[in-house]
Amino acid sequence: MLKAMRKNIKSLAPTLWIVIAAFIIAIFAVWGGAGRLGEARAADTIAWVGKERISVNLFYSNLRQRLEAMKREFKQLDSKLIQQLGVPQQVLEQLIQQTLLLQIARDLGLRASNEEMREKIKNYPVFQREGKFIGFEEYKRILEWNRISLTEFEESLRQEIILGKVVQLVTAGIPVTQEEIWENYKKENESARLEYVLIEKDKIELQEEPTSSEIQRYFEEDKDKYKIPERREGTYIFLATEDLKTEIELTDSDLENYYQDNLPQFEEPEKVKVSRIYISFGDREKEMVLAEIEDIRERINKGESFNELAMKFSQDEKAQEGGDWGFYDWRRLYPPEKEEIEKLSAGETSSVIELEDGLTLLRVTEKNPAVTQPFEQVKSRIKSILEEEKARDLAEERIAGLRKNAKQEKSLDVAAQKIGLKIRKTGLLKEGDALGDIDPSGSLSRALFEIAEKEITSPVYTYKGIGLAQLEKVETPRLATFDEVKEEVREDVYKIKKKEKAHEKLKQTKSQLESKSMEEAAENMEYKTVEEYKRGQYLSIIGESPEIDRLAFSLPLGKASEPIEFEDGYALIKVLDRKEITAEDFEKNKKEEREKFLDMKKNKVFLSYISNMRKKKNVRIKYDLFLKINTDVLSRYGKE
């Protein structure tokens, strides 16, 4: 139902709706058994928006709810995919944005009146039938059917109204000129049919190596290009959770207790798959439509295919799919239909169901009851979860003790030796440099850049474990010597020579176009066509090119351009045809184009405003805690 609600809202600006969607997700997140982490650390803070905190528990609950929803879309959801999609970052960002916008609303004194609430509900697309509000009783029944709290839903709508007011206030009075609208109209509606050939510098082979004198001369002419940024070196200890797992002993009782304490985590909800045939009353008498659908029902009872009859007679959005409403989409159907689905067994067809605008037949094609996965089936998964938790707890405990002793000794090395650990050296690192496979994200190197010489970092959390480092050396930025960057300079000279050769090759290609087609002349190069090129369009390998934009709408038809430089090589284009718009076209659509362009400009202004307010409100994130929670949650999504 919430999905349908969101799907039907057309009036909201995209920027605002992203934020409002986060509210609805947060309000209706229900995932039992938040587990040890959520309960034990509820008082902790993962981020601040001004003086207002976002608690670990709120972030944890929202992250797990989002992941649970994703499990329905991705059958093979695992920690690697979650990280690639950046789900934890998205969830935290949504929480920060909603908190920030509510603060702005409070600062501006914005409220939502009861009358505004009533109008919002009455105009909500989901609560309309044939353009009219279904009535407050039916509205309440729909929420109740979907197990949505009336109070919480109306609170989310109240927030939506307030946020709409924030947007209106921030974006009020933004001017748009006729020229801006005209340029945007051209950008969106003019197009060109192109052919082009390109050559990448990396595919060019040089016959001769650059000489040492050439490399030295290039360096001397552009020394300022080669700088060594600030680098820092430290000593560190890293405790990998995988290594500590060998010290973890788990009994069957430990596993069973976790299972019993977290049963909702192992529940598989009831899965019901539904097919539907819908016949609209239209302008016909109800009796005529009833006779038609009763005839269809009789044919089904005699053995004809429900799906084939749905394709032939049904008049809803799923007709061409054989009336298949799947496991989830049928939850958008009317309450009387959903009540009937609850009563049907797998393979059963309903009697005729009367709706306000037509009649339906339903069939439950699959019905799998809700089940809790048996302990034996999830035992190995629980073992992995507990091993990861306990290994991380052990790492935390040891790192905390080590840090305390290291601060007393003023030496990480001395403190490490006392407990039999051997420190390692990081080598000189730039800020954000990875440290082997234990810290590919560069958390340790960033931590070294946050402290003074001889200071010891706070515990640094990575997906592999927990580390601690002491800053030993700071090397200030400086110009590089030739010997330090000789190989880098050599590579730059190579690139320049290859690019020069690529440019020459395309000039030769252009000279052949008097007697050959571009495709024929593009021997050993990439030849491509674009049926509808628009300004700002991304072309494979080339990317976005202002020069191609200019030529696509100015070059004479059939004439090849000069070689056009892009980052990795050169391209040659020819405009085969062009669709241009006229002032008359623009005049017909000017009003609509003005509104569209104004919305786009408002969104840009609003995003800029939010960015500035983030700085003003001093948004801060505890990245070590953020990473720690992610690791705990992601450990539950290993490949099984």
pLDDT of 14: 37
**What share of the chain has pLDDT > 70, as a percent?**
92
CA distances from 265 to 26, 148, 373, 374, 636 (A): 19, 21, 9, 12, 10
More confident: 66 or 195: 195
Residue 370 near residue 268, CB atoms below 8 Å:
yes
Structurally, at CATH architecture level, domain 231-257+375-476 sits in: Roll (3.10)
pLDDT confidence of residue 332: 82
Q: Which position has the token pair 């009763």? A: 294
And the tokens for 481?
């010597």
Secondary structure of the chain: what % helix, strand, coil (to 5)?
55, 20, 30
**For residue 640, pLDDT beyond 70:** no
- pLDDT tens for each residue of 541-597: 899 999 999 999 999 999 999 999 999 899 999 999 999 888 898 898 889 999 999
- The residue whose two tokens read 């001397």 is 220
pLDDT band at 206, cuts 50/70/90? confident
Domain made up of 191-215+484-579: CATH architecture: Roll (3.10)
**pLDDT, tens only, 271-326:** 899 999 999 988 888 889 999 999 999 999 999 999 999 999 999 889 999 999 99
Q: Which of 48-52, 60-64, 213-217, 372-376 has the lowest mean pLDDT?
A: 60-64
Quick one: pLDDT at residue 419? 92
Q: What residues does 573 pair with on adjacent strands?
A: 196
Residues of the chain with CATH 1.10.4030.10: 2-173+617-637
Q: Is the pLDDT of residue 540 over 90?
A: no
One CATH from 3.10.50.40, 1.20.1260.10, 3.90.870.10, 1.10.10.10 for 270-369? 3.10.50.40
Q: How far apart are CA 278 and CA 358, in angstroms?
A: 7
Among 475, 465, 472, smallest CA distance to 425 is for 472
User: Where in the chain are all domains bearing CATH 3.10.50.40?
Assistant: 270-369
pLDDT at position 333 over 70: yes
Query: Which of the four pLDDT bands, split at 50, 70 and 90, describes residue 156?
Result: confident
106 or 74, which is more confident?
A: 106
The whole-number average pLDDT for the span 403-422 is 95
pLDDT in tens, 79-91: 778 877 888 889 9
Q: What is the pLDDT of residue 638?
A: 56
In the numeric block, the tokens 């440019």 are attached to 503
Strands 460-461 and 267-268: unpaired
CATH superfamily to which 2-173+617-637 belongs: Porin chaperone SurA, peptide-binding domain (1.10.4030.10)
Residues 62 and 59: their CA atoms lie apart, in Å, by 5
At residue 411, does pLDDT exceed 90? Answer: yes
Q: What are the residues whose beta carbons fall under 8 Å from the beta carbon of 172, sequence distance 6 or more?
A: none
- Identity of the amino acid at 409: E
Q: What local confidence, expressed as pLDDT, does residue 635 receive?
A: 67
The pLDDT value recorded for residue 49 is 92
DSSP label at residue 349: B
- The answer to whether residue 42 scores a pLDDT higher than 60 is no
Output 149 or 255, whichever has higher pLDDT. Answer: 255
